[in-house]
Structure 1
């Protein structure tokens, strides 16, 4: 998605700088590569300074770096969870904080945050998804910086044909209790990726969000993302929950029935 977005922005007339954790030569005409490791404050600040020194301004920041984790909640240690958030959430915070002073001085700027439909729905084995926190941060920040001529736009793609699946992180303490269901989730993801949307869908939205005078706060990317967004908004919660569990191959939930009508021993009367 990052490369497709960089190409599209270049074609739209922007001078584009791409980033990577390690120094690499640019393979795309018109794209200048800069080293930037988003969990590292010094690396982020150095990259932003380099771009600003070369151009004198920064008009658009696209936050698209991210890691995926397919694991049950119990299967990830606190260290693994923190490492994931350090890239997917705090990496965004670092890059955003680095460009905001420049954009405030310019009295203009656009920050495009690439999120996911995982920010809209509960996703089993993505319980540590950073997208809910990411979206809350982006929406709140948009209100804070509008008076400075800066807008934050959230893009929500669904399944997209990238290397994200192959580069996903596995749990660091796998538990037998979850292996079967987790493997079903992995197989489902592998299957839907065969017909996933092209990253160009995302790139088109990135350009739209970057150049439009009055941007929306949210943009869906692709047909599947639009369908999920509509269903989440209008379908009753119980029906949505049932459909999600069926799609994921989960069995129904057995609810224990109380066998006594006596007062519950718990102080809150459950």
Structure 2
């Protein structure tokens, strides 16, 4: 496969998990990498996460000024931005009606509008360069439904529609937008899930069951490095695909979603999630 030369990369949410593995993979491939974390950035953070060679900067993707400061700092240090990996995000597990509108908005503010903020800040730079690649971290749940993850799945479906549409808008400027869709990955995602802010007793048993299913799936899931390798492929392919399924499970489910009849896929999904027919 033909690849493009590495340049300057920005990876949001790089302090742990997939973001950390991605920053290391890009740095190893020759990129000059700037990673972000929501807390204060420091050399000690990079060292503690084995991110030597990666410059860590603070950025809150829900804050316009913080995003603008990040991009200005990267430009002051490196002069350009060739690759943006929008990885920062949070999860939420619970019945859809168990979250207030305010909680749903907060989730979208990170997972969707956070992507928009950082992308909008980077696009003028890439348009001037007539060159750039944006890799947006979606999820298998951006492709399929997920009971008790309705709001999280909604954010990822939104990112999918945004990314696919944006790619068509930007190709004339030499910029490509691609999606990476991981399945369950061995990170602290489950531990850091946001809990619904108005729990309903009627959902307790099903919610607890889904929590157990998710914990088991994560324990058996792909290592973050598997996703990082897929992101590197998406970042460097000279003629990128629209979306990349990351890992064996994601590839299998993606194929099943395309070719299995809807009623059969629906029945299988309910069975695997412990739901009655």
TM-score bin (small chain): over 0.9
1:124 is matched with which residue?
147
- Please, which runs of 5 or more residues in structure 1 have no aligned partner? 253-270
1:87 is matched with which residue?
110
Moved more, 80-89 or 201-210: 201-210
Q: How large is the RMSD of aligned CA atoms in angstroms?
A: 0.7
How many pairs were matched up? 252
1:215 is matched with which residue?
240
2:227 is matched with which residue?
202
1:150 is matched with which residue?
175
1:38 is matched with which residue?
61
Whether 1:4 aligns to 2:21 is: yes
The ranges of structure 1 where at least 4 consecutive aligned residues each deviate by more than 6 angstroms after the TM superposition are: none
Deviation at 1:181, TM superposition (A): 0.5
Q: What SS is found at the alignment partner of 2:55?
A: strand
Whether 1:16 aligns to 2:39 is: no
Instruction: Measure the CA separation in 2 of the matches of 1:190 and 1:205.
Output: 23
1:258 is matched with which residue?
none
TM-score, length of structure 1 as denominator length:
0.92
Q: What SS is found at the alignment partner of 2:190?
A: coil
Instruction: Measure the CA separation in 2 of the matches of 1:143 and 1:14.
Output: 26
Q: What SS is found at the alignment partner of 1:161?
A: coil
1:1-52 CA distance string (max 9 Å, x none): 0000000000110000010111132221100011100000000010011001
- Please, which runs of 5 or more residues in structure 2 have no aligned partner? 1-17
Whether 1:29 aligns to 2:52 is: yes
Counterparts of 1:86-235 in structure 2, within 5 Å, are: 86-129=109-152, 130-235=155-260
TM-score, length of structure 2 as denominator length:
0.90
Q: What SS is found at the alignment partner of 1:128?
A: helix
